[in-house]
Amino acid sequence: MAVSGQRRRPVVALYERIADAVHDGTYPPGSTLPSEPKLAAELGVSRPALREALLLLQEDGVLTVRRGVGRTVNDRPPRRGFEHVQPLEELIGAGAPLRVRALLRTVEEPTDFTTQHLLAPARAELRFWESLLTGEGTAAALSHEWAAPDGLLDRVHPEFARALRETGAGAAVSMLAVLVEASRETSLNAHSGITATLLGRRRGEQLDRPADTPAVLVTQVVRVGETPILAAKHMLPTGTVPLPVLQSH
């Protein structure tokens, strides 16, 4: 969905409202949306803006127009978030997934980062994975990933909890890859932030780069519904593989 310009922002916001309603079950797969006049009244928007947002949703595969029926939600609407929530090693591999080397697999108490993003209580035990992603013999990214406490995972995503327990300490896989594989029947949503930074000494050593090498820091939180179950930091130094940015609009 390509939308630009100040005047299009209401359409973007409306697109998001309807897409959120699809993914939270207000308009489940296979259901028919209310008529344009009724939907415009329910949402408190103008019909031209609504019509434009609906057209964009059709383009993005969320809705289908059926003659004599109206607009229906597709049986498999595209997921939201980082959009097809995808492991970093596949996302930036450009057709050839990067290799994952396990540096550390342990359990630790919450840090400021995990307290904020996983809402982890003090003294909780969180699985922590540190991995190095490499391609063609070059270190491309350093990933730090944390899972929510086992007790919470057992309640909201037992398949992920089970998969984490069964994954060997030296397995060449990221935590996010384990989550995606365990979520065939579970809908995920995610939010990522991107900032510019420098590697610093320790990360520079791990990535075989000078400490003052510019880098991109991607922070990511993956949720089931409103519950965060995975938080991550990915450090990508300049001069390696490009980072594609997938957007929902």
For residue 127, the tally of other CB atoms under 10 A from its CB is 21
Percent with pLDDT over 70 in the chain: 87
Check residue 245 and give its pLDDT: 55
pLDDT score of 9 more than 80? no
pLDDT score of 8 more than 50? no
Residues in the chain: 249
How far is CA 198 from each of CA 15, 48, 78, rounded to the nearest angstrom? Answer: 36, 46, 35
Tokens 């949703």 belong to residue: 57
Q: What are phi and psi of 221, to 5 degrees?
A: -130, 130
Residue 36 corresponds to which tokens in the numbers above? 């344009």
In the predicted model, what is the mean pLDDT of the chain?
A: 85
Check residue 158 and give its pLDDT: 96
pLDDT score of 247 more than 50? no
Check residue 41 and give its pLDDT: 93
How far is CA 2 from each of CA 105, 161, 244, 248, rounded to the nearest angstrom? Answer: 41, 37, 16, 9
Q: Domains (ranges, CATH) in the chain?
A: 6-73 (1.10.10.10), 88-237 (3.40.1410.10)
pLDDT tens across 103-148, in order? 999 999 999 999 999 999 988 999 999 999 998 778 999 999 999 9
* pLDDT band per the 50, 70, 90 thresholds, residue 214: very high
Q: Which residue has the higher pLDDT, 24 or 179?
A: 179
pLDDT tens across 173-210, in order? 999 999 999 998 888 888 888 888 999 999 999 999 99
Mean pLDDT of 11-30: 83
Q: How many CA atoms lie within 13 A of 54 on its CB side?
A: 22
